[in-house]
Each structure stands twice: as C-alpha cells, then as structure tokens.
Amino acid sequence: MKVVIFAGGFGTRLMEETEARPKPMVEIGGKPILWHILKMYEQHGYNEFIICLGYKATFIKEYFYNYYLHNSDVTIELANNNINVHYSETESFKVTLIDTGLYTNTAGRLKRIQKYVKDETFMLTYGDGVADIDLTELFKFHKFHGRLATLTSVQIPGRFGNLDINESGEVGHFEEKPMGDGMWINGGFFVLEPEIFKYLDYDVEDVQWEKGPLAALAEDNQLAAYRHNGFWKCMDALRDRHELEAMWNSGNAKWKTW
C-alpha cells in the first residue's frame, strides 16, 4: 500500500527554520522529520511513498537522490568517477517525488497524485507530525468500518492548567495541562479509498483538503475516526521542534517504534 505525504507548504509558523529549507526537512536528531515519518510507516511494512512537493521542492529531491551516497562508506576514483561502495546503511524506501505546485492547496496536491495511487487503498498524512500510532490497527479499523476515509483523532494537552475555584477563592481541583478538555482533533494519518477522488472532481487548486473534500465525506457519512490515545506531536512552531529534539536526545522519543 502506498503512503502519500503532504510536504509542499511554506511552513510560515516555523520561519526560523524554513527560510532555508522546507518544513519536512527540518531535522530532529540529525534526520529530517520527514525521515522519521517514513521510518514509522516502514516499521509496519509500508515502504512505498508518494511525496507531494511544493516549496523548495528541489531540496527534498536532492536529499533522496543523494541519500544512498550519504549513508554509505565509499571509495571514489576521481579520474573516472568510479565509486566502490564498502558499506551502506540505507532503508528500503521507494520514494516518488511529485512537484504539485508552489501555491497549490492540499486538496489540489492530492488530486495531482491520483494517477500514482491508481485504484488502490492508500494512506495519507502530513509532513510535520509524528506519533506512536499502531498503523496496522488503524488499517484494520478502516476496513472494519467500510467507509471511504478514516482519519486519526487525537487529544492534545491544554497550554494551561485548569482550576476549580469556589466563591470563597478556594481551589477544589487543579490539573496541570489537561488533555484537550475532551475535544478530539484531526491528527492526520488517514486511510483512504480511491473513491475519495470523486470528492476532488472540480477545481480544487485553492481548496483545503480538510475544509472541502473531508467535510463533504463527513456529511455523506463516509468518514470514520480512529481514536489514538498515545503520543502525537505536530511540529507547528519552533518550540515544538525544540521539544521533539529534547525527547530524541534524552532517549525518550515516543514515536521511535523502529
């Protein structure tokens, strides 16, 4: 099964890092967050990827083009450019890199890669989020419900603690950064049937996947939500990148399931 990854946005909320490179190439532990996402899928047997490029597309193309060389011990004969590989530590990724436009919105990016997924069930996620999600169970859940689309729903911690205060000013309950006040949000990690492209059968260049087609799928009762109660983190801002880096350096990278 193929995995589609959105990796074409400008990453404006992480501009400190993304002026020089696309957000999916911002590194955690010396590897782009995109690499971490691919490793998560590979752990569950998914190693065919279609990456939707846009902003600084050549950066990502060059990374994968040179990946084998950069992860190998080699002898290079400069006179004839012969290369003798002594040892290589590479993954079994098969990566299709598609330039889906600089300003194209996510629904438009998805429509542009339709011919590469053909008539098969496929997965989709964002190029800036990691989790310890059981992708095998996610797929089973999707097939069990029989709908055209399944998303992974997550709860995120609140930014501030909750206080229960009576009229006298006494605190009856305090909870530091509670989980999302019971609200579940879209965490990505979709499983999709090829019929979802019927919901993209119009000019979707400027349409957001979540606000257009996904909302229509929900209205048609064709969207299911797989609840993930474990770790999930989106690298939306610089503080998120620092948190992920600290987790990796401390040996507590909860998304590292490989």
| Residue 93: band (very low, low, confident or very high) from pLDDT cuts 50, 70, 90 | very high
Average pLDDT over residues 125-134: 98
pLDDT digits (tens, 9 = 90+) for 19-37: 889 999 999 999 999 999 9
Residue 44 and residue 191 in contact, taking contact as beta carbons nearer than 8 Å:
no
Q: How much is the pTM?
A: 0.89
**What is the CB neighbour count within 10 angstroms for residue 164?**
10
What is the pairing mode between strands 31-32 and 27-28? antiparallel
- The CATH H-level superfamily of 2-155+184-249 is Spore Coat Polysaccharide Biosynthesis Protein SpsA; Chain A (3.90.550.10)
Among residues 100, 72, 108, 76, the alpha carbon closest in space to that of 88 is found at 72
Say which residue, 157 or 142, is predicted with more confidence: 142
Task: Give pLDDT tens digits for 153-186.
Answer: 999 876 555 556 666 556 555 555 555 566 889 9
Which residue has better confidence, 159 or 71?
A: 71
User: In the chain, which ranges are continuous DSSP H helix?
Assistant: 15-18, 33-43, 57-65, 67-70, 106-112, 114-117, 135-145, 213-219, 238-249
**CA torsion sign, 253 to 64 to 25 to 30?**
positive
Indicate the domain borders of the chain.
2-155+184-249
Helices 135-145 and 33-43 sit at what angle, rounded to 10 degrees? 70
